[in-house]
Amino acid sequence: MESQLGLLEQSFDFRYSSWVREALDELPDCFTITDPCISGHPIVFASNQFLKMVGYSRDEVIGKNGRMFQGPDTDRRSVMEIREAIREERPIQISLLNYRKNGTPFWMLFQMCPVFSKEDGRVINFVAVQVPILRKSRRNEVKLCEDRAGYRDSVFRCCRREVCSDTVRKSTRESVSSHDGREDEVDEPCEASELEKTKASAAIDNILSALTHYSEVTGRLVCRKRCCLNGNAQLVATLNISLRRIRQSFVLTDALSPDMPILYASEAFLKLTGYDRHEVLGQNCRFLSGTDTDPSTQYQIKECIRIQQACTVRILNYRKDRTSFWNFLHISPVRNASGEVAFFVGIQIDDGCRNEETQRLKPEMKQLSVVGAVKVAVRGLSMGASTS
């Protein structure tokens, strides 16, 4: 568990430097920062105020998905709206019912926005601000009942005043109980006030300002809006969520750009080769070759790419630490909705690691399943983009 937390922190610090945590914790806001590039889209930072609000410790939150704060009365439609915003990599502001560690529900204004890499336009993080919504409905009902009690007393001068007073006392007790957090109201949706919406937007601005500043320290710049990308890079950036669901080792290269740079590398590929994502993106796949890589095999790959045909080879490749491995490699062209070869997908299997799972499913079948998943995602999204 501790090693996993350490890796998540290193991933966050790698982008912004370790100083960013202290700066973010000085902000008076409740917020989390998640990393969609890591499997499970985990929380990589949670502010002190957020931890205080939900009652969890830092170790209980880091590495978990934000769904841990949902409960039985959380509106499923609101959750789906948030998921759709993540998939489309766009901001969202919505009222949401969440739960503290002790099980008590509370209404909050949830405002989320993506953080983009200035270099390649990929979504690096999502910032999610949570502003507790103050319930005013009970207090308004108490005041209304008091006004009605006074009116009835003056007009009818009867025992109805006593009945209404009992109602006032009961309603007041309910209001105080709700205000103290012992009995939150969950019956009806709770809308945020303009002041609470302004507070959430201001918090987003302050957090993004801090992230932008500390990304400049490391030279790995981030920004609030996606930078201008060519068509393929833009498409892959939008495809990120779909591609992350594919668990095999693979890369997606840009067939329309000189030297076919890598636009996407899966987590399994990074684990297999030992490289970090920033060391892979923008490179040609030949960077995996080394002194003993067979030139004839390299030529075979080059020719298949030239004639836009699929091929399968066994090639000696090298990890970041320069240890070699036999790569059972399959390369296949991927066409967009107009039929043009826009990408090449390369699927890697370490030929020296044949475990039981690999024996049950032939390597060729695993490779073809990845090719199929990538083609469906690319064609579906590019077709939607062309008709919109």
Task: Name the residue with higher pLDDT: 230 or 346.
Answer: 346
Q: Fold match between 2-134+193-223 and 231-387?
A: yes
**Closest alpha carbon to 68 in 84, 52, 55:** 55
pTM score, whole prediction:
0.59
What CATH number does the domain located at 231-387 have?
Answer: 3.30.450.20
β-partners of residue 116 are: 123, 223
Residues forming beta bridges with residue 105, ordered by sequence position: 99
Residue 256: band (very low, low, confident or very high) from pLDDT cuts 50, 70, 90: confident
Per-residue pLDDT, 87: 80
Closest CA to 114 of 43, 204, 19: 204
Domains of the chain by residue range: 2-134+193-223, 137-179, 231-387
Tokens of residue 3, six digits: 């090693």
Answer positive or negative: Cα dihedral of 233, 235, 241, 244: negative
pLDDT digits (tens, 9 = 90+) for 314-364: 999 999 999 999 999 999 999 887 888 989 999 999 987 655 444 555 778
Residue 346 exposure: Cα atoms within 13 Å on the Cβ side? 27
Taking the C-alpha atoms of residue 268 and residue 272, their distance in angstroms, rounded to an integer, is 6
- Tell me what pLDDT residue 142 has: 42
Q: What CATH number is given for 2-134+193-223 in this structure? A: 3.30.450.20
Count Cα atoms within 13 angstroms, Cβ side, for 144: 7
The pLDDT of residue 134 is: 84
Helix axes 2-16, 194-218, angle to 10 degrees: 80
The confidence band for 228, taking pLDDT boundaries of 50, 70 and 90, is: low
Q: Tokens 């393929």 map to which residue?
A: 232
Q: Which strand (E) or helix (H) includes residue 137?
A: helix 137-156
CB 255 within 8 Å of CB 332: no
Mean pLDDT of the chain: 81
Higher pLDDT, 248 or 238: 248
The model's pLDDT over 3-35, given as tens digits with 9 standing for 90+, comes to 556 667 777 888 898 889 999 999 999 999 999
Which distant-in-sequence residues (6+ apart) come within 8 Å of 273 by Cβ? 280, 288, 317, 319, 320
Pick 17 or 136 by higher pLDDT.
17
Q: pLDDT band at 247, cuts 50/70/90?
A: confident
Which pLDDT value is given to residue 206? Answer: 95
Answer whether 139's CB lies under 8 Å from 147's CB: no
**Comparison of pLDDT for 300 and 182, the residue scoring more:** 300
Residue in 170, 135, 128 with CA at minimum distance from that of residue 149:
170
